[in-house]
Amino acid sequence: MSEIQVIEQGGKPAFYVLPAALWEKVRSKVEDLDDVAAYDRAMANDDGARYPAEVAHAMAEGMHAIRAWREHRGMTQDALAVAAGVSKPFISQIEGGKREGSVGTLKKLAAALGVPLAALT
């Protein structure tokens, strides 16, 4: 391996000068460590929720989360109403932004859609 030059100030190492080839190896290792650290942070903060692209795009375009998930699941408002024990008009009003569901209602809808409550709020 090539010689590394040490530049001292006040009798202590202040700078290290190394050949470019060695620097490229070191830099790539540091970047790999940064990637590993970023991945570890993401995994530590992962809540386990996964949104299919279809649902995420629909919500980003302004569609209500309940409607986005319902359509993704291939459910009609009638089917969701029956599965959740909620009236179809109420689901329509929630999806249309005319009403907000209570936490209890949202829990029922989330269960019927097979998603965590947080996916609807």
Dist CA 49 CA 3 (whole Å): 51
List the domains of the chain with CATH numbers: 5-44 (no CATH), 53-120 (1.10.260.40)
Mean pLDDT of each 10-residue bin along the chain, 121 residues long: 85 93 89 92 85 96 97 97 97 96 96 94 86
Residues 6+ apart with CB under 8 A from 107: 117
pTM above 0.95, yes or no: no
Q: pLDDT at position 107, please? A: 97
Dist CA 66 CA 81 (whole Å): 12
Q: pLDDT at position 76, please? A: 97
Q: pLDDT at position 2, please? A: 63
Residue 71: closest CA among 55, 57, 85, 83: 55
Residues 6+ apart with CB under 8 A from 100: 94
- 102 three-class SS: coil
